């Protein structure tokens, strides 16, 4: 469960904290599967298996990633519909997203968004296109693997059953 303020990398040329700083009791060489930006938190898979990483991250496999997002303001039906159809980000149309409003707060809205692409800062950019700044972004699932109640900054091994179901989901 990656906290904000850590980069998703094994090493950093600027000596910033990396997700590997959170893993102190494993001797295997691990590396992140995909990315989760510095200002985001949530589920991040780590592995020492290149085939596993390839299966999860290659664009030909459409592994869904679900996020809880808090945005400024109140996206209207047109904004939500646009995200569901796909929006232009960096001169390229995004794949349709599954978007649901979870709740409206005082000046913000919490939504759930599921995408299968993994472009740089994609969810943040998608909401910018429809006029809303992302204030908080938390990945809560990758394929069938859910973050659950894992404390922030902590990790756990995937169970053999979770690995099996995850690999089946990409085939």
- Catalytic residue at 37? yes
Evaluate whether 84 touches 44 at the Cβ level (below 8 Å).
no
* 12, 25, 28, 37: the active-site residue: 37
Sign of CA dihedral 51, 53, 58, 64: positive
**Shortest CA distance to 39 belongs to which of 131, 126, 123, 104?**
123
Distance CA 130, CA 41 (A): 22
148-157 long-range Cβ contacts below 8 angstroms, 24+ apart: 150/1, 151/1, 152/1, 152/3, 152/41, 153/1, 153/2, 153/3, 153/22, 154/1, 154/22, 155/1, 155/22, 155/23, 155/46
Catalytic residues: 37
């Amino acid at each position: 469960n990656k906290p904000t303020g850590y980069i998703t990398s094994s090493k950093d040329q600027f000596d910033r904290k990396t997700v590997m700083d959170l893993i102190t009791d494993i001797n295997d060489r691990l590396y992140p599967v995909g990315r989760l930006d510095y200002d985001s938190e949530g589920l991040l898979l780590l592995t020492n298996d290149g085939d596993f990483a390839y299966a999860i991250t290659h664009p030909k496999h459409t592994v869904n990633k679900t996020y809880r997002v808090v945005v400024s303001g109140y996206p209207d039906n047109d904004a939500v519909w646009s995200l569901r159809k796909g929006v232009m980000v960096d001169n390229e149309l995004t794949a349709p997203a599954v978007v649901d409003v979870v709740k409206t707060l005082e000046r913000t809205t919490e939504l759930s968004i599921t995408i299968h692409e993994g472009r740089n800062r994609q969810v943040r950019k998608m909401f910018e296109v429809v006029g809303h700044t992302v204030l908080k972004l938390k990945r809560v699932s990758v394929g069938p693997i859910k973050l659950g109640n894992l404390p922030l900054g902590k990790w756990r091994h995937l169970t053999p059953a979770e690995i099996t179901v995850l690999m089946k989901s990409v085939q």
